[in-house]
Amino acid sequence: MKSVIVTGANGFVGSAVVGELLRNGVEVYAVVHEGNRSRLQDSEGLHVVSGDKSRISEIEASIPQGACDTFYDLAWDGSAGPKRADVRLQLDNVAWTVEAMNVAKRLGCGRFLHAGSIMEHETMAAAYTDGNRPGQGYIYGCGKVAAHIMCMSVAAGLGIDLVWPLITNAYGPGELSPRLVNSTIRKCMAGESPQFTAATQNYDFVYIDDLARAFRLIGERGRPFTEYVVGSSEAKPLREFLLEMRDSIAPDLDFVFGSVPFTGTDLPLSAFDCSKTEADTGFRAQVSFGDGCRRTMEWISSQEGR
């Protein structure tokens, strides 16, 4: 892997992956929305391309034919917050993802990686459990499932190698979304006791630096048409993670469990198994959850002090 294209390059995950690739000598064509490169620092081997995934074909004119061997598709609008329930937007994401793979093929890339989500597995379990009433956040998960299946079929027809890293739950410095870790740390910093479901469902998290390294290794060594779970390799009930967070950053606060209703589904621990990722790529997470939460809180404090 010598030269790659990265969409969503200025995002939380995208910017971390770009940095990891550049540090390891990979040339990067970073596709950013309307020229916004606030998270990207000047670096030898970095080429910033202004574009938008909704008009993905337009970037072809900005990237030389045959210049890149791998395409990292890390852009997805509405991955957190209310937009997760936007049906039209999530369907558009599916179409844009498939078109991005067509663009990758036309540009001469032999490999295409998309940032999948553990929500794909959770969505399938939630949708095919009789009597279950999935929350609207599963509309996002459904979009990821559809993109995965369509990309597999289209990739087979195009003759491009599709590799699918599956993110458990990414967190760390740089995240601005209202997702669980970020919002809980901010509540702790404000002295507020956070409230949760009973948190007995199985879960896993991966620190952003570990995630970026996993994406590089999967790009280099991942087998075609293979899904790779990216997590800590220490999946367990969510409550245990949250107590680890409390002990690390807010030992004097009460974490209240059971006050919020749970409308999701509980995946078996096997769904978070990273052994295939480790065996094929050599990846192993290095940052513990407690340490990662402490680093994230320190980053948030540094930003609020500006």
Encode pLDDT of 182-222 as tens digits: 999 999 999 999 999 999 999 999 999 999 999 999 999 99
Average pLDDT over residues 279-296: 98
pLDDT over 80 at 84, yes or no = yes
Contacts 24+ apart (CB under 8 A), 298-303: 299/172, 299/173, 299/174, 300/173, 300/185, 300/186, 300/189, 301/189
Please say whether the beta carbons of 284 and 229 come within 8 A.
no
Q: What are phi and psi of 108, to 5 degrees?
A: 95, 10
Full-model pTM: 0.96
Please give the Cα distance from 54 to 117 (Å, whole number). Answer: 20
Average pLDDT over residues 50-68: 89
**What are the structural domain ranges in the chain?**
3-167
Among residues 177, 218, 186, which one has the least CA distance to residue 304?
186
pLDDT band at 263 (very low <50, low <70, confident <90, very high): confident
pLDDT band at 71 (very low <50, low <70, confident <90, very high): very high
Helix ranges (H only) for the chain are: 12-23, 87-106, 119-127, 138-158, 180-189, 208-221, 238-249, 275-281, 289-304
Q: What is the pLDDT of residues 238-248, one digit of tens each?
A: 999 999 999 99
Please give the Cα distance from 166 to 235 (Å, whole number). Answer: 14
Please give the Cα distance from 177 to 11 (Å, whole number). Answer: 11
Please give the Cα distance from 11 to 253 (Å, whole number). Answer: 32
Architecture of domain 3-167: 3-Layer(aba) Sandwich (3.40)
Which residues make beta-bridge pairs with 228?
Answer: 165
pLDDT over 90 at 133, yes or no = no
pLDDT over 90 at 65, yes or no = yes
The full length of the chain comes to 306
Model pLDDT, residue 306: 56
Q: What is the pLDDT of residues 147-177, one digit of tens each?
A: 999 999 999 999 999 999 999 999 999 999 8
Distance from the Cα of residue 297 to its chain's centroid: 20
Q: Is 129 helix (H, G, I), strand (E, B) or coil?
A: coil
Please give the Cα distance from 30 to 40 (Å, whole number). Answer: 9
pLDDT over 70 at 292, yes or no = yes
